[in-house]
Amino acid sequence: MKHVIFLITLAIIGTIPVYGQVADKVFLGGSIVTVNDAKPFADAVAIKDGKILAVGSKEEIAKFQNAKTEIVDLAGRSLLPGFVDGHGHCFGTGLQAASANLLAPPDYTITDIPGIIAELKKYAKSETAVKHGLILGFGYDEAQLKEQRPPNRHELDEVSKDIPVYIIHQSSHLGAGNTKALEIAGITAETKNPVGGVIRREKDGKTPEGVLEETIHYASLMKIMPRMGQAEFDGLAQAGMKLYAANGYTTAQEGRAIASVDQCWMRLADKKEMLIDVISYPDISGNENPFGLDSKWYSKTTTNGYRIAGVKISLDGSPQGKTAFLSQPYFIPPHGSPSNFRGYAAMLDQDVDRKVALCYEKGWQFIAHCNGDAAGDLMLGAVKDAREKFGPGNDRRDVMIHCQTVREDQLDMMKEYGIIPSMFGMHCFYWGDWHRDSVLGATRAERISPARSAMRRGMIFSQHHDAPVAMPSAIRILSSVVTRRTRSGDILGAEQCIPVDAAIKSITLWAAYQHYEEATRGSIEVGKLADFVVLDKNPHSIPIEELANLKVLQTIKEGNTIFTAR
């Protein structure tokens, strides 16, 4: 009887091998980080039919080998579970790849407005720009520009007065257009600010200066973008998957899908052309009858690499763009704003309440964009009301996305309600200096993305890159959340640093749990998908200051290599 109990226990923790089967491949000769607390490290892994057959010592794994088994020598490198996207926009990452690159160092070279103009002029000659009649740039960030402001329409007119020029802020929450782009978008001095959006004006207080925030930015971009066919859509999606795979991701998120994007993913899945798995969350911020939730794709299991998991609600904007909804004023308010400016919500309070209630009524998992703590209050208040009306639900795993300024009392409520924090810890590196000196001030900036506070409560949380807001780099996430180093080298809130083990879990097993996928991915355990990433070094074996230098050498999806570094 004890022997039977022992075998059952082994099966539950995922270490019992399936004897009598022959492995297709065996990985050995390096350090294997399993992310399984019952067996954190191993010497070898055997896989069969795209799943993990056995994990253990070389001697144990040898029992699954014969002359047909392919032996993969890691040559001293490190094998980890494939990275799982806590939050991102895979299709948007493909759009970024097709745009002019306006990112600042270390991701690219843009440091001032003349640099933006030069890059856009170069892009204007590209086949993409000529074909579509649009000069599109992505990734400008006034926090990293010498001028500490975005370019205006007059400066963008230097690129072209005849063709629309539109550039998207790195946060994706703002954009700036030339005069032609504003004309196509239908924006004039008479155009009023919509709910949840702002048209920045020139000194007369009326004439649009070029910068558009939040809802008016999204609406205008839809008008300015060229009409693309299925081939163009599919190409952007595939480009996004390739960039994710190059960064070690085997599972991506489509974190704010619209119908045309989900149709694209469905098309690729039907044709079995998915490089990695993509989990989609259609946006219900403006549409409460989202496309796809009445289809076969709405499921807790992927089909041909794709599924719809729930819905997305966006409650505010971007802290680095100073549009996030805070409970306390911005340290330095945006130009032209009063000293008590706190940002603004993306929708009315009653709309938030109605959408969250709808998710409880329908049984939809939802992920809610909340950068500012005032937006967090809106989400948590709506959840409280929905729970009182519909009950707590069965194993709800709703997610607060970003949690940049989430407070300690809010974390207490989130733990009580089972809400998972998905934190944007990369902000410490990319915008930590900007948050400290301009957005929040030193005291509040010290605890942005407070992962250690979540750990102290025993909470499961994920970390994300929000690509294309930042490059889909799990390595940058790992370095940022462990060291909290800013671009300038400052440590922003040392008390919120987390250990390497927790950081790895936040981009593998815990991110899988967030998606109800912990039984199939996120760790190297028997029966799970053979989704792996090969790094040049073991993250556990190097000084934490060297984590940022780790290299993704190979990405493996269900046993097949989908990326190899050159």
Would residue 472 count as lying in a domain?
yes
Give mean pLDDT, residues 459-487: 96
Q: Does 365 share its domain with 337?
A: yes
Q: pLDDT, tens digit, for every residue of 39-73?
A: 999 999 999 999 999 999 999 999 999 999 999 99
The C-alpha atoms of residue 53 and residue 561 are separated, in whole angstroms, by: 18
Full-model pTM = 0.88
Q: pLDDT, tens digit, for every residue of 120-154?
A: 999 999 988 898 899 999 989 988 999 999 999 99
Would residue 98 count as lying in a domain?
yes
Positive or negative, the CA dihedral 209, 286, 318, 110 is negative
The predicted pLDDT at position 515 comes to 98
Band (221; pLDDT cuts 50, 70, 90): confident
Q: Strands 174-177 and 51-56, how do they pair?
A: unpaired
Q: Does 371 share its domain with 456?
A: yes
Domain count of the chain? 3
Would residue 512 count as lying in a domain?
yes
Band (218; pLDDT cuts 50, 70, 90): confident
Would residue 318 count as lying in a domain?
yes
Would residue 474 count as lying in a domain?
yes
Q: Does 96 share its domain with 131?
A: yes
Q: Does 494 share its domain with 356?
A: yes
For residue 396, give the amino acid letter: R
φ/ψ of residue 358, rounded to 5: -60, -40
Q: Does 400 share its domain with 500?
A: yes
The C-alpha atoms of residue 140 and residue 142 are separated, in whole angstroms, by: 7
- Residue 6 clears pLDDT 50, i.e. is over it: no
List the domain range (segments joined by +) for residue 191. Answer: 92-224
The C-alpha atoms of residue 453 and residue 228 are separated, in whole angstroms, by: 45
Tell me the HSE value of 346 on the side-chain side, using a 13 A CA sphere.
28
Q: Does 420 share its domain with 379?
A: yes
Closest by Cα among 537, 525, 199 to 517: 525
Q: Does 122 share its domain with 208?
A: yes
What is the residue-wise DSSP string for 283-304?
A: B-SS-SS-TTTTSTTBSSS-BT
Would residue 144 count as lying in a domain?
yes
- Residue 502 clears pLDDT 50, i.e. is over it: yes
* Angle between helix 259-270 and 230-246 (nearest 10): 80
- Name the domain boundary from 224, 242, 258: 224
Radius of gyration from C-alpha coordinates of the chain: 24
Q: Does 303 share its domain with 164?
A: no
The C-alpha atoms of residue 475 and residue 403 are separated, in whole angstroms, by: 20
The predicted pLDDT at position 4 comes to 35
Q: Does 39 share its domain with 159?
A: no
User: What percentage of the chain has pLDDT greater than the value 90?
Assistant: 85
Would residue 63 count as lying in a domain?
yes
The C-alpha atoms of residue 40 and residue 54 are separated, in whole angstroms, by: 14
Q: pLDDT, tens digit, for every residue of 281-295?
A: 999 998 899 999 999
What is the residue-wise DSSP string for 88-109?
A: -BHHHHHHHHTSEE-PPTTTS-
The C-alpha atoms of residue 531 and residue 359 are separated, in whole angstroms, by: 31
Q: Strands 174-177 and 165-169, how do they pair?
A: antiparallel
CATH number for the domain that contains residue 368: 3.20.20.140
